[in-house]
Amino acid sequence: MEQANNFRRKIKLAYEQAPWRIETRVGVMLLLVVIIGAALAAFYTDISARTIALGRKIQMMQVSIWSTYTLKYVPDPEEIVPMEELTIEITALRLELAKLNTRALVQQKLDSSGYQVLEGENVIYLPVSGYIPPETAQIGSFSAPETPKAKQLTPYRDSLMDAFQSGWNSLSDMVQRGILP
């Protein structure tokens, strides 16, 4: 009976200590997850910072190269506009230029300025002394180019032994003539 009571005390003691062990285990696991997450975040941040720094350095070098060749001066770092902003601005200006050069708008500007489209007899050509007009190309009728006829291949009738014999004869002939040592 004593043994049974002793066993019950041990189980009761283990049960009383079990919540503490479970909480500790859960706490350690959460702490481990937080530490691993922080390490990954630090690693990612470090790589991102290095990438951004190298990208910025490349941009500065490109601006420096371009300004050296085209503008002949090295700008202050505060004056440098990022390439993305310049690309966006250039694209916007090209779009505006395309809008201004549409056929309808150009025709409207020509009409408002008093210009007319000249055709046929209304066109006046001015003679220029010393001007030699380019020769016009003579375009003939289209005909498909002649393709050369393919040579007829004779079927290969030698056996493998005949090919080796022919090669051996050629080789021995070269040796006899002194072409090969």
Among 116, 142, 176, identify where a domain stops. 116
Domain count, the chain: 2
For the chain, the 3-state helix, strand and coil shares in percent, each to the nearest 5, are: 65, 0, 35
C-alpha dist (Å) from residue 134 to 105, 120, 127, 131, 138:
34, 21, 15, 9, 12
44 and 93 together in one domain = no
pTM of the full structure:
0.29
Is 106 a domain residue?
yes
Question: In the listed set 74, 106, 128, which residue is the last one of a domain according to the structure?
Answer: 74
Dihedrals phi, psi of 139, to nearest 5 degrees: -105, 120
Domain coverage including residue 46: 1-74
pLDDT tens for the chain, 181 residues: list them: 677 777 888 777 766 666 667 778 888 999 999 999 999 999 889 888 888 888 888 888 877 776 655 545 566 667 677 778 888 888 888 888 888 888 888 888 888 888 877 777 878 888 888 888 888 776 666 666 666 666 666 666 677 778 788 888 888 888 888 777 6
Same domain, 3 and 58: yes
The answer as to whether 126 is a domain residue is no
